[in-house]
Structure 1
Amino acid sequence: MELRHLRYFTVLAEELHFGRAARRLAISQPPLSVAIRQLEESVGAQLFERSSKAVRLTPAGQALQASAQSLLQAAQEAATEARQVAQGAAGRLRIGFVGSMLYRGLPQALVRFQAAHPAVRVTLTELNSAEQMTELLHDRLDIGFAHTHQVPAELDCRLLVSEPFVACLPMGHALARKRTVAVGQLKDEPFVLFSRSASPDYHARILSVCADAGFYPEVRMQVRHWLAVVSLVSQGMGVALVPDAMRRCALPGAVFRPLAGSGRQSEAYAVWHAASRNVLVPRLLQELAAQD
């Protein structure tokens, strides 16, 4: 049974006249008769009663008519959906992200992206960098936003953000009154640090900033999210080095000060599978680039 046969059948069922049906279909009458005969052979039942005076649906034809219309509509909808997905007008976009991206323009880019693609289903999952690599490799994410450019060979990445680290201090801390803070001034302070398991790259980078200043930090607490780092600092539990973007989290009790003399940067990368054919990935990247 072919869709073409069903389309011919539904038109003939509406017209109940081979000549008029053939004209609607823009074909001659013989091919229409052949197609109807082939459909009847495929179904195993006579669908029309034909006489010199009239064409009528048989009970089998009446039973097929409603189903045929539904099948043709479903086929049309499937074709439309496939075309929209190929054009990026529909489909899905599965996004992984590290928490700092909430303060680096990702929400604003997604608002614009969703407004331009209302039929696209966007899902967001907060994951650390290593978890995102695994999900991308197993096709459970379409794009990730991570802290590292050290990615498997199957993945591509692009630098999105490069910004300085800043000192995050409790509001009542003596250094909070300074306009800038030298990293070395923090050497005797308890540190709240991003855990190595959550992001080996960031953990190592922060330790390197301290090592450049001649000390190894006294790490009191290790957490998995930047917001947890700032929250603990705001409650007087220690100090931290965080990306400049974390100023935007606006947690009361936390103060941010530029670092004097530190050239190391906090970086965020977009990561996706090199073999991806999802046209929505480059479109989201365009939205992120548009706000620079």
Structure 2
Amino acid sequence: MEFRHLRYFLVLAEELHFGRAAQRLSITQPPLSLNIQQLEASVGAPLFTRNSRGVQLTAAGQAFVPAARALLDQAGQAAREAREVAQGLVGSLQIGFAGTVLYRGLPQILKAFAAAHPRLRLVLREMSSSDQLIDLMHERLDLGFVHTTRVPAGFSQVLVSSQPFVACLPMAHALARRKRLSLAALQGEPFAMVSRAVSPDYHERILGLCADAGFSPEIRYELRHWLSVVSLVAQGLGAALVPAALQQAGLPGAVFVPLDVETPPYDTHCLWKTERDQAGLAAFLEAVRAFAQPVQ
């Protein structure tokens, strides 16, 4: 019994007509008849009856249909698994990410990739952008989702998302019901920020925005994660400028108000070593590019 016999059998079982089945299989009727006869000899039972009214499945043939289909499915799965092993599409990828990507891009990319490559395991590590750069340099990460413009030589990148900054205030704050807010209105407020060590680019950018508005913020709290900044603001302990995607975090007690001026965007880049030649990495980058736009 050969897989060819099973394919021919299933097509004939669907068509119940030698001419149509042969046409679907792109062969002539004599080879089809010969292969069916060989299959019946191998099975040891007639699978079809042939008479003037056409072709019908015997009881044995009806019972053989699901078994034949399962055998072909198993063979196809085995072949796919063998190809994936040969192509490096099994194993794992080490992926770093900064927390805000969970609200803008990463879940969609993960879903698309998992559907196409279920055998490649993804190990996700939440890290600051600066820590990701170190691990990428030492190849402890295969790729990372970072918030920085300081990309070392030898790396490639894709822009995953770009979003504005918004004001984050406690729900009970006097300014929380404004539809839009000027930065100058935050002068004198205690600020919560991601620390300079964790995100030097955006720490400096927020200071620059405040300077443009005519004041230097009173930085009372420095934290490692944006979500921690929002959580602290939600407890009534300060104000902050945060990426707009954090509105999706749904933390009670925090209100997000758009600014009345355009701010430099908060960009997320997917970053990897250009020279890194890995089939799994290339496959994951396909999912990233399907969601995002390349950096020009």
**TM-score, normalised with respect to structure 1:** 0.69
The residue correspondences of 1:1-292 to structure 2 (distance < 5 A) are 84-85=84-85, 87=87, 89-291=89-291
Give the Cα separation in 2 of the matches to 1:85 and 1:214.
59
Query: Alpha-carbon deviations, 1:218-261, whole Å to 9, x = none?
Result: 00100000110000000001000000111100000000111111
Give the Cα separation in 1 of the matches to 2:216 and 2:234.
22
Q: How many residues align?
A: 214
Letter in 1 for 2:180: T
**1:182 to partner: Cα distance:** 0.7
Aligned 8 A contact 2:207 2:216 in 1:
yes
Aligned 8 A contact 1:191 1:220 in 2:
yes
SS in 1 for 2:91: strand
| Structure (1 or 2) with the larger CA radius of gyration | 1
Give the Cα separation in 2 of the matches to 1:86 and 1:153.
31
Query: Alpha-carbon deviations, 1:23-57, whole Å to 9, x = none?
Result: xxxxxxxxxxxxxxxxxxxxxxxxxxxxxxxxxxx
Deviation above 4 Å: which 4+ runs of structure 1? 80-83
Give the Cα separation in 1 of the matches to 2:281 and 2:84.
15
Q: Which runs of 5+ in 2 are unaligned?
A: 1-79
SS in 2 for 1:188: coil
**1:281 to partner: Cα distance:** 2.8
Aligned 8 A contact 2:160 2:270 in 1:
yes
Give the Cα separation in 2 of the matches to 1:86 and 1:229.
46
> How high is the sequence identity, in percent, across the aligned residues?
51
- The residue number in structure 1 matching 2:58 is none
**1:142 to partner: Cα distance:** 0.4
Letter in 1 for 2:252: P
* RMSD of aligned residue pairs (Cα, Å): 2.0
Letter in 2 for 1:215: F
Give the Cα separation in 2 of the matches to 1:152 and 1:86.
32
Aligned 8 A contact 1:137 1:154 in 2:
no
Give the Cα separation in 2 of the matches to 1:278 and 1:260.
45
**1:83 to partner: Cα distance:** 5.0
